[in-house]
Structure 1
């Protein structure tokens, strides 16, 4: 009986962890979309070009995309792209 209860608890914990990861992913994608929109407006570029800017800057600087997004959303600027953002 204890084995079944332990298994149920493990499944509930795993489900909770998966739900948390899902919500974190959704939130991250939303914030990336906001940053993408800012880049599109400020640089007058397409959606795919904005994503490319984020990816290239991430690779060139060794900075995680999420960190670049936070920087852009917090300051309105991305170092290395333009000082006018």
Structure 2
């Protein structure tokens, strides 16, 4: 999001450009974070934890990761997936 709260989109025909590569790296990092959080959530839920503070923190982190992944998916539109991610 930009400073005014509106979405920011990368518009370029140069797939190998510096800004495109940076955007792809950030997106790959966000997807990796979401994947690790999902695995962490599976472990916590499989253990039937009673730690409400831990569950609240996990829910906040998962919400943030989901927001990032959805923002990337929406902004990607018709662009091909980031290298290494289908």
- Bigger share in helix: 1
Considering Cα pairs closer than 8 Å and 6+ residues apart, tell me whether 1 or 2 has the greater RCO: 2
TM-score (norm 2): 0.42
TM-score (norm 1): 0.42
Q: Which has the larger radius of gyration?
A: 1
